[in-house]
Copies of this chain bind each other. A is one copy, B any other.
């Protein structure tokens, strides 16, 4: 697939346009090795087809930028407003989420045309958009697209993981390894400031910056590894209900969970974007539900950190987030500053004190999901370079396992 640009840059110029182009084209790079069939399938209701991601992120710019900038923009296809609205009730009815995989039309090719159309319009109207004060909306659109880039990877991994042929997305990418031992880092009790301070982009759910009282605590200097998690398994971790939350044990029984999502039965290999490979004992354990992370922590005589503890620890220590640079995946370029795995915290996803959802339809972006989910912090090997922050709040239901999710231990001091 080819992403043609015909001198549109003459209208939009400067660093911002370069960033727009860079983020947008990365989405195309992510599907370069995939077939139209790979981009079509929805392997479970939580997963969206890659084609849908490609279209939805374009619809976001069309709806929240082009349609609002006052240039009389006409939508590429009037029916796309129904098909590619994800969950914005303010904007009218939408195609049901569990049926996204049924949309064999529009074809992937037509979605590619859609992207190009939107990009051309963005280039053409760039100055008008900025003049209309929608510069922050562009940034929101790019951050949104980066979130979907991570989802494209987790979703295609799930699609390929359902296939008995175990096809690799990207055979060259090895998992990361952490040779260093873990140690405890102590933090005293006190009031801390948590949340985004206002400089640079942040989602509404990271605001306002506010005070939190934290009792003294300790946090591990690196995430839990495959070898450490394997010891939990060998010790009967999946057979002992006393280690689990009640809901977690019910889920473990119902789903017959006996190991992390993509491990094989002997626990020797794991499926990943790189296909089926031997487990690296020193790589961080990944694809855990909250329930598994919580059970492991209890078994280890520890607990998960709160998000305030996590943010405090990573900020005060000046630890890289995570300690490991990720510059390995061909599609995930250098300098990202994000972690190998998202780290479950024991904090339910909730509004910060004084939280105000953004005005208008984008107010549905984050706030209405503050229920039945837990916050994850850090970032993963699938997070786009430069996307995550120390104040970034990812969130998923406690049974979710298809994300790159692991854990870091904490304990009372």
Contacts and interface: CB of A to CB of B under 8 A. Distances in A.
A65 B102 CA distance: 35
A215 B104 contact: no
Given A79-B164, A104-B35, A107-B37, A371 B95 contact: no
Given A245-B368, A354-B412, A164 B95 contact: yes
**This protein's copies in its complex:** 4
Interface stretch (A38-46, A123-131, A196-204, A325-333): A38-46
A372 B250 CA distance: 13
A267 interface: no
A346 interface: yes
A246 B412 contact: no
A242 B369 contact: no
A371 B350 contact: no
Contacts of A241: 89
Highest count of chain B CB atoms <10 Å: which of A79, A89, A248: A89
A41 B102 contact: yes
Contacts of A353: 214-215, 217, 412
A3 interface: no
A41 B83 CA distance: 17
A165 B102 contact: no
A104 B398 contact: no
Interface in A339-390: 346-348, 350-351, 353-354, 364, 368-372
B354 A215 contact: yes
Q: Which 6 A-B pairs have the closest CB atoms?
A: A348-B348, A89-B241, A213-B213, A37-B104, A215-B353, A37-B40
Given A83-B164, A210-B215, A212-B213, 10 more contacts: A35-B105, A37-B104, A38-B105, A41-B102, A43-B102, A87-B246, A189-B211, A215-B354, A348-B348, A372-B398
Interface of A: 35-41, 43, 51, 79, 82-83, 87, 89-90, 95, 99, 101-108, 159-160, 162-165, 167, 189, 191, 210-215, 217, 241-242, 244-249, 290-291, 294, 303, 346-348, 350-351, 353-354, 364, 368-372, 398, 412
